[in-house]
């Protein structure tokens, strides 16, 4: 018996683009995609206008490039090689979002970015370098990031403190990483 399902006949390593009609867009992607391994996984994708796509999760490479858990690619799936060329985050990324100024917020289980301590949340420039005007310290995993229309950042996750203050599982930050103390949800979730 021959399998006539075209989706099952095409090997895709953790990332694929789907057309409006549900078919695979064969113009997307180059080479081997994410490095193939059963434990590699894409967990979050954020697109910036029509210029680039940010991908995060738990993986070590994309195409032929070494990429720790984060990669930036153009809209055709080609790696933008100038970004994330260092060590990147040292552990899993659960959430990526970008703001209107081309900054990228990443949250996850990492404690370092490019060998610099960044506990579970950081802000990057569009080139994937640490944004020096952001400083936040979250004591445990950040699983979700949302940007508000006033540019404040809401984070959610498994944490109990943010910037050494008790905030259980949800907090709101200013663009520089300082806590917005007007946002309190009591004991959290």
Predicted confidence (pLDDT) per residue in 122-179, tens digit: 999 887 788 999 999 999 999 999 999 999 999 999 999 999 999 999 999 999 999 9
Q: Are 84 and 93 in contact (CB under 8 A)?
A: no
User: Is pLDDT larger for residue 24 or for residue 182?
Assistant: 182
Residues pairing with 61 in the sheet: 66
CA separation for the pair 127, 80 (Å, rounded): 9
pLDDT at 34 over 90: no
User: Is pLDDT larger for residue 47 or for residue 64?
Assistant: 47
Question: How high is the mean pLDDT of the chain?
Answer: 81
Q: What is the pLDDT of residue 169?
A: 94
Task: Give how far Cα 73 sits from Cα of 2, 8, 48, 137, 147, Å.
Answer: 35, 25, 11, 28, 22
Residue in this structure with the two tokens 């905030």, named with its chain if needed? 167
96-118: pLDDT as tens digits? 998 888 889 999 999 999 889 99
């Amino acid at each position: 018996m021959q399998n006539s399902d075209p989706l099952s006949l095409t090997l895709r390593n953790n990332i694929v683009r789907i057309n409006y009609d549900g078919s695979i867009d064969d113009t997307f992607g180059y080479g081997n995609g994410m490095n193939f391994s059963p434990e590699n996984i894409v967990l979050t994708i954020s697109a910036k206008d029509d210029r680039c796509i940010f991908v995060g999760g738990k993986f070590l490479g994309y195409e032929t490039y070494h990429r720790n858990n984060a990669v930036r690619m153009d809209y055709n799936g080609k790696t933008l090689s100038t970004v994330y060329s260092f060590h990147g985050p040292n552990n899993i990324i659960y959430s990526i979002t970008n703001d209107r100024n081309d900054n990228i917020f990443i949250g996850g289980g990492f404690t370092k970015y490019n060998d610099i301590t960044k506990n579970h949340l950081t802000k990057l420039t569009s080139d994937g370098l640490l944004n020096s005007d952001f400083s936040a310290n979250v004591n445990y995993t950040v699983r979700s990031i949302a940007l508000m229309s006033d540019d404040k950042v809401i984070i959610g996750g498994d944490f109990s403190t943010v910037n050494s203050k008790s905030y259980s599982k949800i907090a709101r930050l200013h663009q520089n990483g300082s806590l917005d103390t007007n946002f309190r949800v009591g004991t959290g979730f």
